[in-house]
Amino acid sequence: MLGSVAFDGFSRTIWWQDRRASLAAVSIDHFALTGTLLNLAGLALAVAAVALAYLGAVELSRRRSGAVGDHADLFLGSLIPIAAAYAVSHYFSLLLVQGQFAITLASDPLGHGWDLFGTAGFRPNIAPLSPNAIWYVQVAALVGGHVLGLVLAHDRALTIAESSQRAMRAQIPLLGLMVLYTVSGLWLLSQG
């Protein structure tokens, strides 16, 4: 989920759009197919990059803690608040604006002119919050999710490390990963 949402944000950057446009200049007839293949490759790379970064950080953490065995699944819970934060950050404004249309659709779900709940005449406010307010909600969700993820990773490290000092040292790679995820997420938000 982290990789797919990150790529969705990245695919809207000017840099990515320029790559797609340069592909269109080379192959006008097959642009739809080549653009789709480019997006598919970008999505696969984003998912792989997030997975490899996670696995690398977990392995470094395992080595620093002195623990034995595979620990990839032990820290997965720390990614849940981050994934939720990415979802909120990415889809907050869409849900806020487009979600209002559900009020109208509830009264006339099939488009037959019904007014089942008296809300068919409801007119959504397409700008309920300023862009700055939306930005602050997105940043708060992103930073809050990463902090909560780090707290969960810390808690998990304390349970598997031989000592609290080793647990602290073991968390450095995961802290670095969380900072990388946070900075990347904030950069993607700033590009939108």
- Tell which residue, 5, 3, 4, has the closest CA to residue 94: 5
With 0.85 as the threshold, say if the pTM is over it: no
pLDDT at 60 over 80: yes
pLDDT in tens, 74-105: 888 888 898 888 888 888 888 899 999 999 99
Least confident of 29-33, 36-40, 79-83, 133-137: 29-33
The answer to whether 126 touches 97, Cβ cutoff 8 Å, is yes
How far from 81 is each of 21, 65, 92, CA to CA, in Å? 35, 24, 15
Domain count within the chain: 1
pLDDT at 46 over 80: yes
- Tell which residue, 11, 181, 4, has the closest CA to residue 82: 181
Phi and psi of 86, rounded to 5°? -60, -45
What pLDDT score was predicted for residue 64? 77
Containing domain of residue 151, as a range? 2-191
Tokens coding 33? 């197919």
The answer to whether 189 touches 89, Cβ cutoff 8 Å, is yes
**Which residues touch 61 (CB under 8 Å, ≥6 apart)?**
71, 75, 157, 170, 171, 172, 173, 174
What pLDDT score was predicted for residue 106? 92
Highest mean pLDDT of the ranges 51-55, 159-163, 175-179: 51-55
Phi and psi of 170, rounded to 5°? -65, -25
Residue tagged 């990773």 (tokens): 153
Tokens coding 73? 């699944």
pLDDT mean across residues, the chain: 84
